[in-house]
Amino acid sequence: MAATEGEWEAWMAAAQAGDARAYDTLLRAALPLLRNTARRRIRDPAEAEDAVQDALLTIHQLRHAYDPTRPIRPWLVAICERRAIDRLRRSGRRQGREVPIEAGGETLAAPLANQGEARVASAELRAAVAELPPAQRTALGLAKLEDLPLAEASARSGMSVGALKVATHRAVRALRRRLGSGERE
């Protein structure tokens, strides 16, 4: 029997309070949803399953940042979508080709209500990124959007790991301030 939205929210609330059993139940209930999401993006079953595992790890890292005022299922799907996109990008780079990424796939936030809002938010984000200093744009692109390990991002940017971390942190702070989300994790 499928879980209701209320059950999902209760499991997440209990997980945030430290209940490991509720958290385990939530992840088991979310697994089919995550697998379907990854398989819609990635045709190779092994790569899709790797994207699911990446999504589970990300959910684990972000579970305390989950905002109970937003629906949980779209939040989980958005995380899995991002991890699938990351996998496609890495796979494309290994094969010497870039995988096209749609504008709406760059965020871990819950999906916007409609495509018009997505285009507006996307344009605002691009404008905010364009106003960042070059070092911060580079750091943000390598460390966050391409999700490269710090050592590789450092080598590609020509910045030290410390400088890369500082530039990335400053870029994220500036974007949050500019886009009005400085109060959220």
Q: State pLDDT tens for residues 100-129.
A: 444 334 333 333 334 444 455 566 777 777
pTM for this one? 0.51
Q: Could you tell me which of 33, 122, 115, 41 has the C-alpha nearest to residue 71? A: 33
pLDDT digits (tens, 9 = 90+) for 8-35: 888 888 888 888 898 889 889 999 999 9
**Distance (Å) of CA 25 to CA 30, 38, 91, 125, 167:** 9, 20, 31, 35, 39
